[in-house]
Structure 1
Amino acid sequence: MEPRWYTLNGEKFFARTWGDPSLPPLLMLHGFPEYSGAWEELALELQDQFYCVAPDQRGYGQSYCPEGVENYRTGILATDMAELAKQLGAPVTVIGHDWGASVAYGLAMFFPELVSRLIIVNGVHPVPFQKAMASGGAQSEASQYINALRREGSEDYLAKDDFGKLLQLFSAHMDLSWLTGEKLAEYKREWGRVGRLKGMINWYRASTLVVADPGKPVELAEMDVSRLQVTCPHLLIWGMDDSALLPVSRAGLEAFAADLEVHEIEGADHWVLHQRAGEVAEVLRRWVG
């Protein structure tokens, strides 16, 4: 791994990189509550084929971490990574997981000239996800943690007992056996940087997504779906035991991605990148060709 610093829209962002810079770039976007190091297992599998670039996104790790919820709107987050894609020599292949998938979708939808291929791993397009969360059904119930995170002071609660509450949320109904020893110490170091946990949670506070109470569907305003299309080739990799993002959260995705392939991985959950990095890499290589 080689560390690198980038200046994006006037601010400093840290990234971890793997592979030869002359290879085609693969922009790797982490989710919550991870950081750039989350991509290490997959990057080591792919570094012979790609120049893997995994930034700490805004509010995370060693990157720019401004105050104020308004600094974490998805459009702003996507603009950060659009600038990085340009510096890497766009168009680039983009892969995103969890919240990183939301930024990756934003890049593909609003900066299509910068994205040659889109790969999502257990992440969701905003329209199917919003419909599922507003329905009052299973995804609404599974997403109640979002409302909890949005509460004032949630970052202080999650940091208690050496981040014990955050780890409890992180592992709810899922396999966290990969997060031990030095890897766990590294995560705690990143979470413990000044202001970072608040910055991370501000992604949730800035989001306009509505989470209905279970059994109480919410009527949604009409959305202009014409602006939310993915025109490049799109691969979705899905760990089927994910208890935070249920399969219903991707229902109807094909209406937003004409060139879509879905690959399901049984026996893996939301943290499939850590549990089955080799299999994810194999699927990705086959799809890319």
Structure 2
Amino acid sequence: MEHFFAPVNGIRLHCVSEGAADAPLMLFVHGFPEFWYAWKSQLEEFGKDHRAVAFDLRGHNLSDKPEGVAAYRHKPLLEDLKQLIEHLQAGKEDKSCILVAHDWGGAIAWTFAAAYPQYVNKLVIINAPHTVPFARALASDPVQQEASNYMLLLRHAKAERVLQANNYERLLKMFSRTADGHCALTDDEIPLYLEAWARPGALTCALNLYRASPLYPPTPEDPGAAALKLDCAALTVRVPTLVIWGEADTALGTVLLEGLEEVVPDLRIRRIAEGSHWVIHEQPRRVSAAIREFLQEGNTAPAEKA
């Protein structure tokens, strides 16, 4: 795998690529609390016939770490992604890529695909809610509100202290909320994650994603997502989209799939009952097979698959 830094939006993003430079671009966007390594299996698989690239989001691992909550709002995150695609596709008339994203990366990718469809040939989202159904569930669904209460801790000023305690014990426990109760990370991978989290400023930057977002459950003092007035037309994703969903996700319920076709008209959903929020770690071959099938099909959306 090739490691390099891409200059975009006034910062440098650390990237890792597999495959020929002139092959079609496939870009992978990680979530919280991860870094490029989350996509190791997919880089190996899709590097066979694509230029598969994963990168560290701003603030994460080896990428630059702008300070302040405002640097992690959606506009700079979208601009990072736009300029990264332009950098990777330099010299090509068609700038579009296949965009694959999980968790927070998915939140960014949903909005990006709606705003810049010309940059996205096909979209793959893994356990990441679209803004519209997520805001609706956070405002009115008690089960999802309860499942999302962790977001209030991650927004709090004490979050760094809590998550760093006992060598990041609480962050590691997040990876044990799997379908079978075993940690989604191997013994060899845990030190890599600990190293990424311990980089100066990295944890605060990652938490600033939550602090900058208006999507969080309501409290008696703060209406949170219930106060949002969303423009559904501006958030509609019109590119062919595959959503892969580990149904054993304890943080994001399947209620977030309800009504999704209203804002994603060209939609396929692949549910994985034996997968949790960490399905890309638990079922990497199954995830890659679902993506591969999606890439090989035409643009007519089939019925939802179990």
TM-score range with shorter-chain normalisation?
A: over 0.9
- Counterpart CA distance in 1 for 2:191 and 2:228 is 44
Amino acid at match of 1:58: R
Amino acid at match of 1:177: C
Alpha-carbon shift at residue 180 of structure 1 (Å)? 2.9
- Counterpart CA distance in 1 for 2:18 and 2:178 is 32
Partner of 1:161: 166
> Is 1:207 matched up with 2:213?
yes
CA deviation digits over 1:129-155, x for unaligned, max 9?
Answer: 111111141110000000011110211
Partner of 2:30: 30
Q: Comparing both chains, which one has the higher relative contact order based on Cα–Cα distances under 8 Å and sequence gaps of 6 or more?
A: 1
- Counterpart CA distance in 2 for 1:160 and 1:176 is 21
Amino acid at match of 2:26: L
Query: Which residue among 257, 261, 273 is the counterpart of 1:254?
Result: 261
- What 5-or-longer segments of structure 2 have no aligned partner? 90-94, 297-306
CA deviation digits over 1:197-220, x for unaligned, max 9?
Answer: 000000000001131359x99744
Alignment of 1:39-50 (within 5 A): 39-50=39-50
Alignment of 1:1-289 (within 5 A): 1-89=1-89, 90-172=95-177, 175-213=181-219, 219-289=226-296
TM-score (norm 2): 0.90
128-137 or 97-106: bigger deviation: 128-137
TM-score (norm 1): 0.95
Say which SS state the counterpart of residue 274 (structure 2) adopts.
coil
Residues 176, 184 of structure 2: 8 Å contact kept: no
167-176 or 27-36: bigger deviation: 167-176
- Counterpart CA distance in 1 for 2:282 and 2:185 is 10
- Counterpart CA distance in 1 for 2:198 and 2:61 is 9
- Counterpart CA distance in 2 for 1:248 and 1:114 is 29
- Counterpart CA distance in 2 for 1:6 and 1:247 is 36
Residues 172 and 285 of structure 1, relative CA distance in 2, 3 Å threshold: closer
Aligned CA-pair RMSD: 1.8
Residues 139, 226 of structure 2: 8 Å contact kept: yes
Residues 45, 277 of structure 1: 8 Å contact kept: no
Say which SS state the counterpart of residue 269 (structure 2) adopts.
strand
- Counterpart CA distance in 2 for 1:166 and 1:19 is 32
Residues 140, 213 of structure 1: 8 Å contact kept: no
Residues 144, 213 of structure 1: 8 Å contact kept: no
Say which SS state the counterpart of residue 17 (structure 1) adopts.
strand
87-96 or 218-227: bigger deviation: 218-227
Alpha-carbon shift at residue 258 of structure 1 (Å)? 1.1
Amino acid at match of 2:79: T
- Counterpart CA distance in 2 for 1:222 and 1:42 is 37
78-87 or 177-186: bigger deviation: 177-186
CA deviation digits over 1:181-231, x for unaligned, max 9?
Answer: 2210000000000010000000000001131359x9974443211101111
Alpha-carbon shift at residue 37 of structure 1 (Å)? 0.6
**Equivalenced residues, count:** 288
- Counterpart CA distance in 2 for 1:24 and 1:74 is 27
Residues 200 and 223 of structure 1, relative CA distance in 2, 3 Å threshold: same
- Counterpart CA distance in 2 for 1:221 and 1:61 is 32
- Counterpart CA distance in 2 for 1:48 and 1:168 is 34
Residues 136, 212 of structure 1: 8 Å contact kept: no
Say which SS state the counterpart of residue 181 (structure 1) adopts.
coil
Say which SS state the counterpart of residue 233 (structure 2) adopts.
helix
- Counterpart CA distance in 2 for 1:77 and 1:171 is 28
Amino acid at match of 2:62: Q
Amino acid at match of 1:231: R
Residues 236 and 173 of structure 1, relative CA distance in 2, 3 Å threshold: closer
